[in-house]
Amino acid sequence: MALDDPKTLVSTDWLAAHLRDPDLRILDASWFMPGSDRDAKAGYAGAHIPGARFFDIDEISDTRSPLPHMAPPPEKFISRMRAMGVGDGHQVVIYDQTGVFSAPRVWWLFRLMGKTDVAVLDGGLPKWQAEGREIEDLPPYVRDRHITVQRQAGLVRDVTQVAHASKLRDHEIVDARGHARFTGEQAEPRPGLRAGHIPNSKNLPFGELQNADGTMKSPEEIRAAFEAAGVDLGKPVITSCGSGISAAILALGLEMIGHRAWSLYDGSWAEWGMYNDLKVATGEA
């Protein structure tokens, strides 16, 4: 896969060259961990890539669920995208204020809704600004745009499906959290959750797929990282993490290496760690 693939990952050079394309839509999908002193909306208001709209991951979600930012019903996604002027025929590029952290979550959400002309900006806003590229602090002019969706149920897994996969071992479950959280040595940042991991899952911290500057590693390096984590790429893969954000980084990596049989556990550890009737493993995988 070439770096500039408008269905997965594009460079800052690619975005700069296409910035004025009439059918390009740019989304700032920044999100920060609970307890962080960073405010994603304030960051967007202060500086964003020209024309970018802010995608609020917590609001554009299933707010009826007790779990954080679960995927919204298609009707809500349609409503929010129309209001943001994002619709059929658009090439969407998603970035975040960290580098590549929360943007892949929204890339996955578009994929879940059947939209494939969507890419993550490699290196995100930090790389864009480090290169001295144009930014603005004005809200974009937005016109309502029709959008159709077709939910791709195969790209998401619920707790029952993950429990079956854990027991049968017919999928690889890969956890993107840091190693100490995976082994249970570090407490979870969300109160009330047990520490540890899903039985028979593997650990591949999302940072292992990234370079020091926050860009994604090459497909060859990403494949090697999955293999080094003991992941059998001959099996379908379910990605997981704390609340379904960084799991999407692993999903993006799988797509980059051409491994199409992947899905994301939307509830992730925020759900699994909450239910005492679900088994929890600790220590090494």
Tokens for 71? 């995927």
Please list, in sequence order, all residues whose beta carbon lies within 8 angstroms of the beta carbon of residue 260, skipping any fewer than 6 positions away.
254
Residue of 93, 231, 241, 254 marked catalytic: 241
CA distances in angstroms from 86 to 53, 82, 109, 117, 148, listed in the order given: 9, 6, 14, 12, 11
- Tell me whether residue 4 is one of the annotated catalytic residues: no
Distances, alpha carbon 128 to alpha carbons 32, 107, 158, 179, 212, in Å: 19, 19, 36, 30, 15
Q: Reduce the DSSP state of residue 92 to 3 states and report it.
A: strand
Please name the residues in contact with 268: beta carbons below 8 A apart, sequence gap of 6 or more. 240, 241, 242, 243, 244, 247
| Residues known to be catalytic | 241
